[in-house]
Amino acid sequence: MSAPTMRAFVLDAPGRCSVQEVPAPVAVPGEVVVDVERVGVCGTDVEFFTGEMAYLVEGDSTYPIRLGHEWAGTVAAVGDGVDRSWLGRRVMGDTMLGDRTCRRCRRGHQHVCAHRQEVGVRGRRHGALAEQVAVPAWSLHALPDAVDAVLGALVEPGGNALRAARATGAGPGDRALVLGPGTIGLLVAMFLRAAGAEVHLMGRTPESLAFARGLGFPHVWTEAGLPDLPFDAVVDASTAEHLPALALDLVEPAGRVVYIGLAGRPSTVDTRTLVLKDVTAVGVLSASPGLADTIAAYAGGAVDPRPLVAATVGLDEVGSVLAGRPPAGAGPGPKVLVDPHLR
């Protein structure tokens, strides 16, 4: 009797991908197998597709790779040592899988563990652009009924955005500027608005600016048209290498700058400006510490990211999406979701 297989999206080299029949995962001790219902296509996935992902240069990731780290699904099998109550539960999972023994992990910072795996990204941990994915049980977060598969697949980017919004310290009476109205930038803006801040967004294309206005953000600008206003906090959620320095220039003295976007090439900031303005700068890498609160925010309706989803496609269309070709009939939002069971 042959071993069971499943369909999975496999990236063999930059620009070279296919949907393949691969061995279905087995729930080894301490892990679960999840039937994947939705997966988000992320900018990190695009960087692997183009070959620009920094982990490839550093040797933390290699081809072939099975992508997909923003996911939601239902637990189908559990390994030895796992509470069987997980069976049949709707879940999403942390992308960052620390070794749980090092100093960083013991101090609660497993998302920056030097030996971490990242689901669909780093350390040969297969991702969720497949019909099933295997992950450690300790990485799971249960989803309440109010958070369906669409919202569940948006928890991981939401966790990053929530951490960035909180890092600004902005609330009622504060004015915050978000650079880059992509998925993360718009989610940051939503969390800032929920916190009571006056939110401004800066982008490049008329389409992205119009979409942001349609989400109820009236203060939307291009770089050239940015008004001369005091910004108590600035979040750089872009991929433009000159914007980290601009964020520092724009923030008010004693304000806060949060860096969550990554440019393809090194960016520079003048630390003299940082010091002389008495600015606090924060970098945000991971959603890990913000996942539970993001689920609660979605469940309670404080933030609704559904309008960000432009389309839902099957595995066979992932390569086209990564190549920058929008699906037929796609809406104006920046996020594409994948249903691995859609044909």
pLDDT for position 221 = 98
CATH number of the domain located at residue range(s) 5-154+305-338 in this protein: 3.90.180.10
Length of the chain: 343
Per-residue pLDDT band at 263 (split at 50, 70, 90): confident
Total H helices, total E strands in the chain: 11, 17
| Rounded CA separation 245/263 (Å) | 12
Mean pLDDT of the chain: 97
Q: Tell me how far apart the alpha carbons of residues 160 and 4 are, in angstroms, rounded to a whole number.
A: 35
Angle 155-168/291-300 helices, nearest 10 degrees?
Answer: 100
Residue 64: asked if its preceding bond is cis (omega within 30°), the reply is yes
Instruction: Enumerate the CATH 3.90.180.10 domain ranges in the chain, comma separated.
Output: 5-154+305-338
For the structural domain made of 161-283, what CATH number should be given? 3.40.50.720
Is residue 343 pLDDT above 90, yes or no?
Answer: no
Query: b/e per residue, 56-77, with b = 16+ CB within 10 A?
Result: beeebbeeebbbbbbbbbbbbb
Residue 264: the pLDDT is 80
Asked whether residue 1 carries a pLDDT value surpassing 70, the answer given is no
Query: Is the pLDDT higher at 262 or at 88?
Result: 88
Backbone phi, then psi, for 208, in 5-degree steps?
-70, -35
Name beta bridge partners: 313.
338
Over range 294-321, report the average pLDDT: 98
86 confidence band (pLDDT: 50, 70, 90): very high
How far is Cα 178 from Cα 201, in angstroms, rounded to an integer? 5
Q: What is the C-alpha to C-alpha distance for residues 296 and 38, in angstroms, rounded to an integer?
A: 19
pLDDT (average), residues 307-332: 97
Distance from C-alpha of 122 to C-alpha of 335, rounded to nearest angstrom:
22
DSSP conformational letter for 15: T
**Percent share of the chain, pLDDT over 70:** 100
Predicted TM-score (pTM) of the model is 0.96
pLDDT at 76 > cutoff 80: yes
Q: Say how far residue 265 (Cα) sits from the centre of its chain.
A: 20
With 0-12 / 13-18 / 19 or more C-beta atoms within 10 angstroms meaning exposed / middle / buried, residue 2 is: exposed
Q: Which of 32-41, 54-63, 94-103, 332-341 has the lowest mean pLDDT?
A: 54-63
CA angle 143, 294, 84 (to 5 degrees): 25
The answer on pLDDT for 40 being more than 70 is: yes
State how far the alpha carbon of 338 is from the alpha carbons of 12, 107, 120, 248, 333, in Å: 19, 35, 14, 37, 15
Name beta bridge partners: 71.
39
Local structure of 81: helix, strand or coil: coil
Range(s) within the chain of domains with CATH label 3.40.50.720 = 161-283
pLDDT digits (tens, 9 = 90+) for 176-215: 999 999 999 999 999 999 999 999 999 999 999 999 999 9
Q: How far apart are the first and last CA of the chain?
A: 27
**What whole-number distance in Å separates Cα of residue 313 and Cα of residue 325?**
12
